Amino acid sequence: MLQVIRERAKGLVAMVIIGFICLTFALWGIQEYLNAGQNPAVAEINGEEVTQVEFQREYYDIRQQAQSLLGASFNPADWETTAARQQVLNAVIEKRVLRQLTERARVRVGDEQLARGIQEIPQFSDPETGRFSNELYQQFLRNQALSPGMFERRMREDMTLQQLRQGIAASEFVPTADATRVEVLASQERDVGYAVIPGDKHAADIEITDADIEAYYQGSPADYEAPESVRLAYLELSVEKLAEEVELDDGAVESYFRTNIASYSREEQRSANHILVQVAEDADAATADAAREKVLLLKSMAQGGASFADVAMENSDDIGSRADGGATGFFGRGVMEPAFEEAVFALEEPGEISEPVRTRFGWHVIKLDEIRPGGEPTLAEARGEVEEDLRRERAEAMYYDLAEQLTNLAYEFPDTLDVAAQETGLSVQATDFLTREQIASRFGSRVAAVVFLDEVVNEGLNSEPIEVDGSSIISVRVEEYKPKALRPLDDVRNDIAATLKLEATRTATREIGEAMLARLRAGEPAAEVVAEQGLKWSVAPRVSRESDELPRAVTREAFRIGNPGDGSAAYAGVPMGSGDFAVIEVSAVYLPDAGEVEKGEVAQARARIETDRSQAAWRRFVDGLRERADVKAFSDNI
């Protein structure tokens, strides 16, 4: 797959870049050239600069990840704060420090490992076949404004850092006895009593005045700022759109097919199912032999009438293919582990099962599923692909010429896009007012970074054409700019009133709750204290941490309370949603014996603890690297 990626990068993108570099300064279309001097550093790490454009790209990437993770809970305003940008800057600095370490140590992810890593990303899997889809991959690159080469570099860097992190994590070990003690505590049960002081009952008595709203508005201006925004005009040049306009005749298609027939020749591909019995590469002979005997037993089961796929689903250690009965999908030579591939291509007929095969993952037995013969297709068979390639080739030639014109004209006539539009045949398009985040979402992070450069947003000049995704460029100009501003009070009055009422309600219920807790801790009967407030006292015996019998906030707080000891009770209170407040009593704690804890639960506890300790070890490692590095941060530039 890397070969496919590289071929695309070597074609169009390389041609455009070479052409642009050969032009005069006025024709340069590479962002880094034109932005020299207008792309200040946001940090310097051991003498290596991180530019503002690099920071903006990382900022929007991290923001997009947060948006995907949080979904409807994502609040764009949270990302407009200086604190949020400072957190991203810290992450960028740490990543650069780590990258410098891996470069010094010559830690590197190989091409085969990188290709495998990309293929295993779930986002690129066809939902019907479950196999890697180059179409989904290319669509992702377009949406993220990344060229294949850029994505490969990022992926290689991330995988390299992951290798480093795994090495740190491997040093953390948790004894079984420690994990058992933790699981005993996690498996405890408690007798819980509680009462909820309802917020809505007290909210009705709370009055929020105009003076209250005005004071809050004046005291918290940052909470009600509208982010800066721009209204854009732009020209977009795209290979895909040009290709749609290319007309072909039969003669051209046939000639192109004959000239490039080697490109449409297929190599033989095979699909298989396999069963893996995992064993470490450095395992001793006895362990390796035992794994081989097990895989032979599984082979005999498959040959004895059981479905190979069923045996794989129930016994294979390959979690990536186990659910599909060990299916590999179709592949050609040079993709799989050499020993695995050799065994598959040595099988002669579909249905044939191999002898045990050893790879770095362990022992496999493989069943050949289907063979797709190689050879040269007819024009009729390949016509759709041929026409697509011919259209793209002609569109790329047009794209290069038009990109050169667009770059030249956008520079020669910096105060308008109309001239460039007339000469190239493109249409000037317009947007409504967009924030940085909206621009990044619509056009990509590179465009968002360029739009707010001083020469574009303040001087009103055309931007240089920005390469968006390797097959399209865009030139923008700011038609109108709205600076960051405080939203009018009338626009946010209701929001402020709701905020103030909720705060006042929480204060009222907390004060009542704290007074009740003081009486309970003094020994007054719970029933009496609760009855005076007109509340209901609920009791739940032997509640576990995972119980849904109680409100979640009550359960969490009940297990934070210390063990009250024999014959006594412990109390606590916790705020809840909508201004409610819960008063909680724990009257008994039940701990299981260590021997009663299931081994599987102990193993899970051990894994959780090791994960926590590994994360802490990684944090210490990164902090130590940063302390030893020469770091200069220029926060004013973020």
Q: What is the mean pLDDT of residues 151-172?
A: 82
Check: CB of residue 160 under 8 Å from CB of residue 102.
yes
pLDDT above 90: residue 275? yes
* Alpha-carbon gap, residue 333 to 246, rounded angstroms: 36
Domain co-membership, 342 together with 236: no
Question: Do 322 and 283 share a structural domain?
Answer: yes
**So what's the pLDDT on residue 596?**
65
Distance CA 281, CA 10 (A): 38
Which pLDDT does position 122 carry in this prediction?
Answer: 86
Among 230, 165, 145, CA closest to 476:
230
377 pLDDT higher than 90? no
CA distances from 222 to 32, 80, 322 (A): 34, 10, 52
360/282 same-domain check:
yes
Domain assignment present for residue 159? The answer is: yes
Which residue type occupies 634? F
Contacts of 492 (CB under 8 A, 6+ apart): 217, 224
d(CA 569, CA 519): 13
The range of the structural domain enclosing residue 424 comes to: 229-244+396-483
> Is 170 found in the same domain as 41?
yes
pLDDT of 501 higher than 90 = yes
359 part of a folded domain: yes
C-alpha to C-alpha distance for 488 and 507, rounded to whole angstroms:
28
pLDDT band at 105 (very low <50, low <70, confident <90, very high): confident
The confidence band for 25, taking pLDDT boundaries of 50, 70 and 90, is very low
Task: Pull the structure tokens for residue 257.
Answer: 């097919």
- Sheet containing 570-575, strands listed edge to edge, beginning at the edge strand earlier in sequence: 538-543, 189-197, 581-590, 570-575
Answer yes or no: is 388 within a domain.
Answer: no
- Quote the distance between the C-alpha of residue 608 and its chain's center: 22
Q: What is the Cα–Cα distance from 277 to 311, expressed in whole angstroms?
A: 12
The values of phi and psi at residue 147, to 5°, are: -85, 160
Which residue from 432, 431, 441 is spatially nearest to 67, judged by alpha carbons?
441
| Residue 103: per-residue pLDDT | 85
Q: Are 407 and 465 in contact (CB under 8 A)?
A: yes
CA distances from 193 to 261, 541, 574 (A): 79, 8, 13
Q: Which of 483, 510, 537 is the last residue of a domain?
A: 483
Q: What is the CATH number of the domain that holds 112?
A: 1.10.4030.10
φ/ψ of residue 524, rounded to 5? -70, 145
Higher-pLDDT residue of 360, 30: 360
DSSP state of 475: E
Q: Which two tokens stand for residue 130?
A: 């479950």
332 contacts: CB under 8 Å, gap ≥ 6: 267, 268, 269, 270
Q: Is the pLDDT of residue 13 over 50?
A: no
**Please, are residues 367 and 272 in contact by the beta-carbon 8 Å criterion?**
yes
The one-letter code for the residue type at 183 is E
Contact 534, 196 (CB under 8 A): no
Q: pLDDT tens across 513-555, in order?
A: 999 999 999 999 998 999 999 999 999 999 998 888 999 999 9
- Return the ∠ at Cα 564 (arms to 563 and 565), rounded to 5°: 95
User: Is 18 a residue whose pLDDT tops 70?
Assistant: no
CA torsion, ordered 353, 359, 363, 366, to nearest 10 deg = -20
Do both 566 and 629 map to the same domain? no
Q: Please report whether residue 288 resides in a domain.
A: yes
Predicted pLDDT at 104: 86
Which of 237, 522, 530 has the alpha carbon at shortest distance from 404?
237
Task: Read off the pLDDT of residues 334-373 as tens digits, 9 standing for 90 and up.
Answer: 778 889 999 999 999 999 999 999 998 899 999 999 998 8
Can you give the pLDDT at residue 38?
55
Note whether residue 43 is domain-resident.
Answer: yes
Q: Is residue 254 in some structural domain?
A: no
Same domain, 57 and 147: yes
Using an 8 Å Cβ cutoff, are 275 and 312 in contact?
yes
The single-letter code of the amino acid at 391 is R
Quote the CA–CA distance of 98 and 93 in Å, as a whole number: 9
Distance CA 464, CA 451 (A): 10
Contact 295, 318 (CB under 8 A): no
Bridge-based pairing state of the strands 48-51 and 41-45? antiparallel
Maximum mean pLDDT: which of 105-114, 549-558, 564-573 = 549-558
Can you give the pLDDT at residue 145? 60
Spatial distance between the Cα atoms of 397 and 368, rounded to a whole number of angstroms = 44
* 3-class secondary structure, 584: strand
Q: Is the pLDDT of residue 637 over 90?
A: no
* Residue % of the chain over a pLDDT of 90: 46
Q: Has residue 176 got a pLDDT over 80?
A: no
The answer as to whether 597 is a domain residue is no
User: What pLDDT, on a 0 to 100 scale, did the predictor assign at position 475?
Assistant: 96
34 pLDDT exceeds 80?
A: no
Q: What DSSP element (H or E) covers 574?
A: strand 570-575
Number of domains in the chain: 4
What does the mean pLDDT of the chain come to? 85
DSSP bridge pairs for 434: 230
CA distance 299 to 277: 11
Q: Tell me what pLDDT residue 11 has.
A: 36
Structure confidence at residue 350 (pLDDT): 94
Mean pLDDT of 138-151: 75
Both tokens of residue 186? 């996690």
- 544 and 558: one domain? yes
Q: Which of 11-15, 322-326, 489-493 shows the lowest per-residue confidence on average (mean pLDDT)?
A: 11-15
Q: 3-class DSSP state for residue 592?
A: coil
440 and 569 in a common domain:
no
528 Cβ contact partners less than 8 Å away, ≥ 6 residues apart = none
Residues 296 and 330 in one domain: yes
327 strand-pairing partners: 273
Domain CATH code at residue 467:
3.10.50
- Would you say residue 30 lies in a domain? no
Instruction: Report CA dihedral (159, 162, 167, 171) to the nearest 10 degrees.
Output: -160
What tens digit of pLDDT does each residue of 44-61 get?
A: 999 999 988 788 878 877
Q: What single-letter DSSP state applies at residue 221?
A: G
- Cα pseudo-dihedral 260, 266, 267, 268, rounded to 10: -170
Report, in this order, helix, strand and coil percent for the chain, each rounded to 5: 55, 15, 25
**Do 367 and 413 share a domain, yes or no?**
no
- Looking up residue 362, the CATH number of its domain turns out to be 3.10.50.40
CA pair distance 331, 371, nearest whole angstrom = 10
Using the predicted structure, report yes or no on whether residue 379 has a pLDDT greater than 60: yes
b/e sequence 115-152, b meaning 16+ C-beta within 10 Å: bbbbbeeeebbeeeeebbbeeebbeebbebbbbbbbbb
Q: Which residues pair with 56 in a beta bridge?
A: none
Q: How many whole angstroms from its chain centre is CA 234?
A: 30
Distance from C-alpha of 298 to C-alpha of 296, rounded to nearest angstrom: 5
**Are 415 and 346 contained in the same domain?**
no
Higher per-residue pLDDT: 24 or 266:
266
One domain, residues 85 and 51: yes
Amino acid at 10: K
Q: Which two tokens stand for residue 466?
A: 């920005």
